[in-house]
Every structure is written in C-alpha cells, then in structure tokens.
A and B are shown apart, each in its own frame.
Chain A
C-alpha cells in the first residue's frame, strides 16, 4: 500500500467514524426528547395554563436544544433543556403582561385565566374506575391550581425537582441560580402547597 492509498484509507475510516458518531448522537437525542417531551409539556402547561402555547414552547425548546447543544454530552441535556423551556415560559408571561396592558389601553380587559377551562383541558380518562378517575382528576386540578399560584421561582424549583426529578445541581443549572436558592425556593414551595392544599397535601386515589 503506497502512502497516498494509506492516507485515503485513514481519511475514509475517519469520515465513517464521524458519521457513525453523529448518527448515534442523533439517536440519543431522539430518545432523550421522546423520554422528556410529555412531562415537559405538562410542566409548561401548568406554567402557562394553555396547552397549545405549551406545545409551542416545548417544540421551541426542543429545536433550540438540538441546534445549540445537540453535540453536548447527554448528561447535560436535561438541565439545558429545562433552562430553555423555563426561559420560554418566562418570556411567555412577559409577553402576556405586555399584551394585557395593550388590551387595557384599548378598553378590552384581559380575560387570561378565565378563558382557560381546566376541566375541559384535563386528560382523557383511561385505565381507572370512574371513582378513582374523578378523585385523581379533582386532586390534580387542585394541585395544578396550587402549583400555578406559587411565585414563579418557587414553581420552577418545585416542578423541576418533584415532577421532572432533577437533582439540586441540575435544577440550579436549569434555573440559572445557586443550589442554595433552589433549596430555599423548593422548601417555600412545599410549605405554600401544604397551606394551600391543607395539611394533608394532595390526595389522589393512590393515597387511599
């Protein structure tokens, strides 16, 4: 084998290896997004109380993650993804505030939350007895309202820690704050939820 052929062979093997790595990375990213997308949607939906807007926010977060951080290690994706999503939710609230002000100027009061029918938006029943379904649905409606009523940072800390299962460090990365702040926000959120939902907390069918 002469030098030119050897160089070509090395180059070809290198290209194949890069292509394989890229494919593996894309498959990994696909698995990550498929695994996280439904919980992300519900988290965004609790944040903005509108499913269509939540779907847009989740899709936007997926696109930004894939574009900007697709080549990062998969361990980094969850905090980064939720950071993008939480930024999207915050921007959504700012836009709503601006929109509501404009609507007030034009004499059309913002109806906002009043338009959101949380019962109509509740998930379709499946796999449970009607009683259990009703109990869970009512409990989830109460919980969702209570979580939504939390201050934004407390809500983020609670949802990321409890619903998504991120650890303190991951939550801190996602929220862009210190781990100490995460612990404080989380603790206050739990305290507020206990007060809002009663000292017995949320009660679905799992609780008997």
Chain B
C-alpha cells in the first residue's frame, strides 16, 4: 500500500534523528568549540576601526571619481546609484565582500551565463 506524504516524512525524520544521535564524540566536541567561539564573537565584534578602513578607502575613491567626472561644475552631485553603492560598501559585510571580491566578480560572470536556481 502506498504511504502517505506524512508517513514518508515521519520515517525520514526518524532516520535523520537516529543519524543525529549517532554523531561521534570528536564531531560533538568540534561543534561545542564552534558554539563557544560564536558566543565569544558576539561579545567582541570585529574592531570598529578595522571595519571602516576599506569602506573609507573606497568612499574616498568614489568621491574623487565623482569630482573628476564632473569638470567645471561648482557643486558635487552624488548620483542615486552611487549612494546605493556607498550603502552597500558601508554595510556590515564590507570586509567579507572585500576579502572575496575576486570570487564575486567570477560569480557575476557566471550568473550572466547560467540561471542558478
């Protein structure tokens, strides 16, 4: 007799739970250490100064770029897209992004060719 969706899900869950219960001691120890690292990280976030260094550098570069691109203009106009870029750069993930800039540029090229679901 064909099983219902609920039965299949229940049995899959039982198997999964059994595999969770059987994790070895070394793995559990690693998980425990990782959890404590996470709690420590929550108490001591990355240095604020360090966090702003790359963002400040890019912000300065963008500002210079805007100034150069608008010769003869008495005032500096910051375009909406530039503002959006600045928000992105000044976000919390700025360091991660800079560390993996090359990776994301490759992804960008890939995404243009592939439709990743």
Contacts and interface: CB of A to CB of B under 8 A. Distances in A.
Interface of A: 26, 29-30, 33-34, 37-39, 41-42, 51, 55, 58-59, 62-63, 65-68, 70, 94-95, 97-98, 122-126, 136, 139-140, 143-144, 147, 151-153, 161-163, 165, 187, 190, 193-194, 199-204, 206-207
Contacts of A204: 11, 14-15, 18
A33 B27 CA distance: 15
B107 interface: yes
B38 A62 contact: yes
B79 interface: no
B81 interface: no
A142 to B, nearest CB: 9
Interface residues of B, number: 40
B27 A202 contact: no
Contacts, number: 132
Interface of B: 2-3, 5, 7-9, 11-16, 18-24, 27-28, 30-32, 34-35, 37-39, 41-43, 45, 92, 103, 106-107, 110, 116-117
B22 A201 contact: no
**Would you call the interface of chain B mostly helix, strand, loop, or mixed?**
helix
A125 B22 contact: yes
Nearest to B9: A162
A202 B15 contact: yes
B14 A190 contact: no
B45 A162 contact: no
A59 B38 contact: yes
Contacts of B43: 26
